[in-house]
A and B are shown apart, each in its own frame.
Chain A
Amino acid sequence: DQQVKQNSPSLSVQEGRISILNCDYTNSMFDYFLWYKKYPAEGPTFLISISSIKDKNEDGRFTVFLNKSAKHLSLHIVPSQPGDSAVYFCAAFGNQFYFGTGTSLTVIP
């Protein structure tokens, strides 16, 4: 059973606007969450993470929000750029890694 879900397989956003990628999880024991970005034919690269003791972490244009009560994680990219077009995976860690299935983001110039 998928413990981490990304329910939107794809997302299209205009350049300059905000991209919001969502992730839901089921296990309240997860204590660390990560977002990865993946270009075709490459392995996922680490983007940003958040500990369960926080509800927000910001790094430049990327902000991750954690809502523990809703078991929901989101990644905000603002402003979105064409180079952000990639597949984004969220992952949760609690002794093992649990990955979502990915959301393909397309930023339209």
Chain B
Amino acid sequence: GAVVSQHPSRVICKSGTSVKIECRSLDFQATTMFWYRQFPKQSLMLMATSNEGSKATYEQGVEKDKFLINHASLTLSTLTVTSAHPEDSSFYICSAGLAGRLETQYFGPGTRLLVL
């Protein structure tokens, strides 16, 4: 089955640094990727939708300058948390969908970010 990986799986960083999280679709071409943030025991919050070759579409309330998304190829999307602060600590999860079949999404395992 389709597999989506994320790297790193967990990262600890100091406040003020930037962290890049990669999301890769390993065996299919993902025209659309989604980035979510997961708070403990709460719903996944959709942060942005990333389409290959175009700018990401951010959800209301998500700072595009803080959460930089790049979808440079059909198998890779990156999320960069710039100038991270402790309140950015969370699970970040990506998912990938196939063009025309976005009802089926393949989720990555998540990246646990802890900002000290």
**Which A residues are closer than 8 A to B by beta carbons?**
1-2, 5, 9, 36, 42-46, 49, 87, 89, 91, 95-99, 101-102, 104
A1 touches B41 (CB 8 A): no
Which residues of B61-105 have CB atoms within 8 Å of chain A's CB atoms? 91, 93, 95, 103-105
Chain A residue with Cβ nearest B34: A43
A45 touches B43 (CB 8 A): yes
Known interface pairs A96-B110, A101-B105; 7 further A-B residue pairs with C-beta atoms within 8 A, sorted by A's residue number:
A1-B1, A5-B1, A9-B104, A42-B46, A43-B44, A43-B46, A98-B107
**Which B residues are closer than 8 A to A by beta carbons?**
1-3, 9, 34, 36, 38, 41-46, 59, 91, 93, 95, 103-107, 109-110, 112
In the assembled complex, which residues on chain B have CB atoms less than 8 Å from the CB atom of A36? 43-44
**Count: A-B pairs, CB below 8 Å:** 59
Jot down 30 A-B pairs with beta carbons below 8 A, ordered by A: A1-B3, A2-B1, A2-B2, A5-B1, A9-B103, A36-B44, A42-B46, A43-B34, A43-B45, A43-B46, A43-B59, A45-B43, A46-B43, A89-B105, A89-B107, A95-B9, A96-B109, A96-B112, A97-B38, A97-B91, A97-B93, A97-B110, A98-B109, A99-B95, A101-B2, A101-B105, A101-B106, A102-B103, A102-B105, A104-B103
In the assembled complex, which residues on chain B have CB atoms less than 8 Å from the CB atom of A87? 103
Chain B residue with Cβ nearest A49: B41
Give the most central of B36, B42, B104: most A CB within 10 Å.
B104
Cα(A95)–Cα(B109), bound, Å: 9
Q: Is the interface of A mostly helix, strand, loop or mixed?
A: strand
In the assembled complex, which residues on chain A have CB atoms less than 8 Å from the CB atom of B103? 9, 87, 102, 104
In the assembled complex, which residues on chain A have CB atoms less than 8 Å from the CB atom of B43? 36, 43-46
